[in-house]
Amino acid sequence: MLQVVQPNEPAYQLIVQKFGRDILLENGEINREKLGSIIFSSSEKRQLLNAITHPCIQKAMLKQIVKYFVLGYRYVILDIPLLFETNKLKRFMKHTVLVYCDPQSQLSRLMRRNGLSKAEAEARIHSQLSLDEKCQLADHVIDNSGDWENTRLQVLKLHVKLEESLDFLLLRLAAVATLTVIGGLVGFFLRQYFH
């Protein structure tokens, strides 16, 4: 989200127009803490912000996916906090991964990371599906409740599984075949036109 809300980006202009200049820092950037306090206290404001940012974020993600696909990567990791809530992008995902932690850890980590009060952190948590609901929807769950080494081992295990998967191969073959056909047709028509 950070890229699409930078000054001179279309989403930035709309956010400032809809939420006012009071949400800006002195340097002109959006004060994420102030905007967060607005949207997490009003579901209408949150929906408005999502309606502004999500199309821009999705476009930026699509560019990244195409870039890494062309570079030959077997999979791309997208960090989509509201994947299960919006349900718009899930159909494009072959695998979904949820990084889980117990509810008490979730609350304390959010308070510590964002400098939020308990009430503010709880409001943010309750604006989303519960972690248990997300666990049911995810294809893979990484339990981040324990120590860093345990989490790291789970991530490595999933990485090996995805690297060994041939899911990417069919899509890549279909893309190459499609591009070959299009290239052949363009070449054929160009030869016909110039001869």
pLDDT at residue 173 in the model: 66
Model's pTM, two decimal places? 0.69
Residue 12: per-residue pLDDT: 93
pLDDT of residue 153: 97
Q: In whole angstroms, what is the distance from residue 50 CA to residue 86 CA?
A: 9
Q: What integer pLDDT is reported at residue 177 of this predicted model?
A: 72
For the segment 50-72, what is each residue's pLDDT rounded down to a tens digit?
A: 999 988 888 888 888 888 887 87
Mean pLDDT of 124-146: 93
Q: Is a pLDDT exceeding 80 seen at residue 178?
A: no
Helix axes 32-39, 10-19, angle to 10 degrees: 60
Distance CA 102, CA 133 (A): 13
CATH for 78-167 is 3.40.50.300
Distances (CA, A) of 12 to 24, 71, 147: 10, 30, 38
Contacts of 106 (CB under 8 A, 6+ apart): 125, 131
pLDDT classification of 41: cutoffs 50, 70, 90 = confident
Q: pLDDT at residue 17 above 60?
A: yes
Cα(117)–Cα(41) distance, integer angstroms: 13
User: Which residues of the chain form CATH 3.40.50.300?
Assistant: 78-167
Cα angle 86, 91, 92; round to 5: 110
